[in-house]
Amino acid sequence: MRLHPGGRASFALWRARLSNSQVKSQRNGHLRWRYLARRLEILRAAGKEFRVRGFAETGMRDIAAAAALSPANLYNYFAGKHEILYFCQDNSLDRMIAALDKARRMRASVASKLRLVIASHLRCVLDEVEGSAAHLLTALPSRQQRHLLAKRDRYEQGLRNLIARGVRSGEFIPCDPALAARAILGALNWSVQWFSPEGPLTAAEIADGFADYLIRGLLAKPNAPEHLSSGRKLHESTHVQTRQEVRKRETAR
C-alpha cells in the first residue's frame, strides 16, 4: 500500500509519538520499581529497629538513620511509623500466604508441604526482618487491624486445611486441625522473642529443627524419618532457590 505524502508524514509523527510513549512508560516503570525497592529496604530497616528498640521507643529519625536516609527524605516514602508498621505486617502476610499457596500446589506429601510452610514462615519473621514486627498488631488503628486480621485468619485457615488434609489421608494422626495450627503458629511466632542473628543457630537451622519436632508429632505412620528426610531435601532446594532470587534482585539494583 502506498501512502500519500501527507499520510506518510502523519504516520511518521504517530510512530514518533508511540516511541516516545514507550520510552516514557519504560522510564516510569523503572522509577516505580526503584521506589518500591527503596520502600522494601525501609521496611527491613524499620522492622529491625522495632525489634531492637520496641515500637514505642523507635522514632522516624531512628528509622531514617537505619535506612541511610535523611528524615525529610523518609517522609517521601512513608507518612509515619504507623504506616511503616502496617506495611511491615501487610508485606509479611502476603509473603506467608504466597508460600502457603505454593505449598498446596506442590506434588508432595502433606508433611513436605507443611515443612515448606514452616520454613517460609520462619524465614519471613527471622531472616527477612520486616516480619519481626508481626506481633505488634495492637499498635495500629482499628481499621488497619481489621484488614491485617482478615489476612491472618486466611493464612491460619489455610494451615488448618492443610493439616486436615493430612488427617483425612491418614498421613497425620486424628487431631483438631485448629488446635494443631495454633500450636504451630504460636511456636513459630514466639521465635521472634528469643532469636538472635549472632546466636549459634541460623534461621534455616531453626526452621529444620522446628519442622522436625512439629511434624513428627502429627505423623501417623512409623516411617516418619522418610517423610522428614524427603521434606528436608525439598526445603533445602527451596531455600537455595530463594537465596538465588534474592541475589539476583540485589545484583539488578
What are the pLDDT digits (tens) for 155-187?
999 999 999 999 999 999 999 999 999 999 999
Backbone angles phi, psi at 57, to 5 degrees: -90, -5
Residue 128 confidence (pLDDT):
57
Residue 247 confidence (pLDDT):
45
Closest CA to 228 of 215, 241, 242, 244: 215
Closest CA to 85 of 38, 50, 39: 50
**Phi/psi class of residue 54: alpha, beta or left (left: φ > 0; alpha: ψ in -120 to 50)?**
left
**Three-state DSSP state, 181:** helix
In the structure grid, which three cell numbers stand for residue 82, read together?
Answer: 504507623
Residue 115 confidence (pLDDT):
93
Can you say how many angstroms the Cα of residue 184 is from the centroid of all Cα atoms in its chain?
Answer: 18
What are the pLDDT digits (tens) for 178-212?
999 999 999 998 887 788 778 888 888 888 889 88
pTM of the model: 0.69
- pLDDT tens digit at each of 253 positions of the chain: 454 555 556 656 656 665 655 555 556 667 778 888 888 888 888 877 887 787 888 899 999 999 999 989 999 999 888 888 888 888 888 989 999 999 999 999 999 999 999 999 988 888 655 555 555 666 677 888 888 899 999 999 999 999 999 999 999 999 999 999 999 999 998 887 788 778 888 888 888 889 888 998 899 874 655 444 444 554 454 444 444 444 444 444 4
